[in-house]
Amino acid sequence: MRETPRAEPPQHRPHRAVAHTSGASCPGPPHRSDGRPPHTPRGVRRPDPLGRPGTTPPVPGRPALFSALVALAVVTWQVLVHGPLARLDERVSRAVVDAVPRPLSELASDLGNMTVALPVLACAMAYAVWRGRRLAALHAGLAMAAVPLLVIPLKEWTARPGPLEPWAAGYYPSGHTATAAVAYFGAAFLVSNRLIPVAAALTAVTATGLILRGFHWPLDVLASLTLCVPLLRWPVLAARYGRRSPVDGHGEDSWGTRSGATPSWSEDGRTN
């Protein structure tokens, strides 16, 4: 009669994924033996230049911020001295004003009205507060509050007349464009990054309507867009680094993971 084979201890299998379980004695972060990142949102985050975990909202870096400020300074200088760029701007404006029916261009320019743009941002701020992102909502509100504080002094300083009202002054930069950009992009950053193309389209439609209707010169619109780059940096940075909620000491990060919970790992490297 054959003997029953005795059970042998499990042998280590090469090329098998190794993962740390919760409470394991082996230190270090969970990893996979095949070099692939773990199946967890934290494993696919890209760090920022300072090495901190990044999230998806695009943040204007220093080169973009510097370029925007330089462009704003150059355009403002040309408007003040009525340089070649300002004269070209006036010729372009006269060629495109009333290129489309006025009701259509007026409808597009109305997207930059306070009565239209502010409710959109207010709803996004309320949603962000409900999701525990109070810091991001606060910074978005501060960015909108800064629009008139920056635009009105520039209007009074440059005193540029309008395309259809040469006797009036205070058209540079465009307040409607700045309002639309901060409101729609701020709302997109607070709600979902998938709405960023929608925010860009609404801002572009507003700017185009203002130019075609003759409410602003093209450089007025361009100056407002460059002015909004540093303003929009506030809510984006707050959305990146201020996503934790103080409720019960446990917040949710950008991927919806509870900050007080430790993910467990299975043998194939996936979170349980």
Residue 21 DSSP one-character state: P
Whether the bond between 153 and the residue before it is cis, its omega within 30 degrees of 0, is: no
- State whether residue 172 is helix, strand or coil: coil
Mean pLDDT of the chain: 77
Q: 272: burial class by Cβ within 10 Å (0-12, 13-18, 19+)? A: exposed
- Tell which residue, 156, 151, 140, 155, has the closest CA to residue 231: 140
d(CA 173, CA 151): 6
Backbone dihedral angles phi then psi of residue 258, each to the nearest 5 degrees: -65, 130
The angle subtended at Cα 254 by Cα 39 and Cα 62, nearest 5°, is 110
For the chain, give the longest Cα–Cα distance.
114
What would the mean pLDDT of 119-138 be, rounded to a whole number?
93
Specify whether the CB–CB gap between 188 and 196 falls below 8 A. yes
pLDDT band at 43 (very low <50, low <70, confident <90, very high): very low
pLDDT at 64: 79
d(CA 183, CA 140): 8
pLDDT at 18: 47
d(CA 122, CA 5): 73
- Residue 265 pLDDT > 60: no
pLDDT band at 178 (very low <50, low <70, confident <90, very high): very high
What would the mean pLDDT of 4-23 be, rounded to a whole number?
52
pLDDT band at 245 (very low <50, low <70, confident <90, very high): very low
In our burial notation (b when 16+ CB lie closer than 10 A, e otherwise), range 14-53 reads: eeebebeeeeeeeeeebbeeeeeebebbeeebeeeeeeee
d(CA 129, CA 179): 21
- Residue 165 pLDDT > 80: yes
Q: 253: burial class by Cβ within 10 Å (0-12, 13-18, 19+)? A: middle
